[in-house]
Amino acid sequence: MRRAMAALTVAAYLTLVVDVIGDNREPVSLLPATAFLLLATWGFAWVQRRGERRSAYAYIVVLFLMGFGVFVVSAASLGATLMLVVLVSQTVILLPLPAVAVVILLLPLFHAGMALDEGLREALGLVAAAVFAAVVTRLLMREQQARAELAEANARLREYAVQVEGLATVQERNRVARDIHDGLGHALTVVQMQIKAARALLGPQPDRADQMLAKAQGQAEEALREVRRSVGALREARPAVPLPEALRALAEETSAAGVPTEVDVTGSSRTLLAEAEESLFRAAQEGLTNVRKHAGATRASLVLDYSEASAVCLEVRDDGAGAGSGEGFGLLGLRERATHVGGRMSFESVPGGGSTLRMEVPG
């Protein structure tokens, strides 16, 4: 707007110069016009930077008087009329609308010395030009404000996009961490238990030890596959087999590692959403891993309950020492999984009475 006002003021001044030269008038009439030009450019920029209402009112009053002087000295030339348009536009920018209305209503007084018919005609024309200039300036100000607000909104959107990207990165890292923990951690725990059992049997039962080591090798290969799936965004978290069968395979691994484990399926099994089944599988996997690592249990069981129409529940029970806090990373990951699919997870541990991990998902 500042540049537009400067360009309009220079155009009005040049028009006045052409009027003076074309009508062979005395150059003295350019003196007030030059003062108006300097004030309407440099003075306007200074007042706009200060942003004080009192300075703006004083500036408009002085500019109004200068415009009146130019108008009188130049005998109401076209250039003088354009300078009054500059006055009105700058008033719209600096002052509220009531002040703009006062300035426009005072403009007809510039024709007070003319004949009635001519003065009335010129005054109406000047008021019409002033109103048009005020409306156009107001529209330009709104457009400029809208552009500024749009730029600010775009800046905020870019900030939000960065925040969302960062949040998505954190969520993805947490997801990969959960899958590595649930998959690799489980497999390596089984390897540890198998090797430990093999070492104990190596002396008196070499054939049995060889079998245990073979299972340990298989678990190590499974762990490697888990790592590759995790790094590759884990497109498939586990083989596409029915959940009850996958749980029985987990129970066999735990039983082979020294903790006999049973699987009990209640109700008619049905297909769930892939994420819901994955969450239940990971809950069983994490629960049995904790049983082997911490519980000191002699028996464990997996209970898969399809009896409710709107939900499926899995419980991992053991008869170990209990007293677990339920605050480990693996359980935290299970809670996140359950929340993500709209379910819930709980962990209960009673000193000397074993532990129960329970997850329920929609289904």
Contacts of 74 (CB under 8 A, 6+ apart): 16, 19, 20, 25, 29, 33, 80
**Quick one: pLDDT at residue 225?**
63
Question: Which two tokens mark 306?
Answer: 């399809």
Confidence at residue 234, expressed as pLDDT on a 0 to 100 scale: 44
Domain, as residue range, for 349: 241-363
**Would you say residue 90 lies in a domain?**
yes
Mean of the per-residue pLDDT values for the chain? 81
DSSP per residue over 36-64, as a string? HHHIIIIIHHHHHHH--HHHHHHHHHHHH
Percent of the chain whose predicted confidence (pLDDT) is above 70 = 81
End of a domain among 113, 144, 173?
A: 113
Say if residue 315's pLDDT is above 90: yes
Q: Is residue 56 part of a domain?
A: yes
Q: Determine, yes or no, domain membership for 198.
A: no
Look at residue 265 in the predicted model and tell me its pLDDT.
94
Question: In whole angstroms, what separates CA 52 from the centre of its chain?
Answer: 37
Structure-model confidence comparison of residues 111 and 247, the more confident one: 247
Return the pLDDT at 301.
94
CATH of residue 277's domain is 3.30.565.10
Q: What is the 3-state secondary structure (H, E, C) of 178-199?
A: HHHHHHHHHHHHHHHHHHHHHH
pLDDT of residue 111: 72
Is residue 144, in this structure, part of any structural domain at all? no
Quick one: pLDDT at residue 237? 46
Tally of domains within the chain? 2
The reported pLDDT for the residue numbered 304 is: 95
Is residue 55 in a domain? yes
Is residue 269 in some structural domain? yes
Residue ending a domain, among 82, 113, 144, is 113
How far the first Cα of the chain sits from its last, in Å, is 63
Q: Can you read off the two tokens belonging to residue 154?
A: 């775009």
Quickly list H helices, the chain: 2-22, 30-38, 44-50, 53-73, 78-94, 97-106, 116-179, 186-202, 206-231, 243-256, 274-290, 329-340
Which pLDDT does position 251 carry in this prediction? 92
pTM of the model: 0.43
Last residue of a domain, one of 66, 93, 113: 113
What Å distances lie between residue 359 and 79, 224, 239, 332, CA to CA? 84, 27, 21, 12
Residue 69 has, within 13 A of its CA and on its CB side, a CA count of: 16
**208 pLDDT above the threshold of 90:** no
Stretch 1-18: mean pLDDT = 81
pLDDT digits (tens, 9 = 90+) for 147-206: 888 888 888 888 887 778 777 776 776 666 666 666 666 667 677 777 777 767 766 667
Per-residue model confidence (pLDDT) at position 356: 92
Segment 15-44, tens digit of pLDDT? 888 877 776 666 666 888 888 888 888 888
Place 236 in a pLDDT band, splitting at 50, 70 and 90: very low
Contact 249, 288 (CB under 8 A): no
Confidence of residue 122 (pLDDT cuts 50, 70, 90): confident
| 306 domain residue, yes or no | yes
Q: Are 89 and 103 in contact (CB under 8 A)?
A: no
Amino acid 326: pLDDT: 58
Residue 326 inside a domain? The answer is yes
> pLDDT of 91-115, one tens digit each?
999 999 999 999 888 888 877 666 6
Beta-bridge mates of residue 349 = 355
Q: pLDDT per residue over 323-361, tens digit each?
A: 565 566 778 888 888 998 999 999 988 887 889 999 999
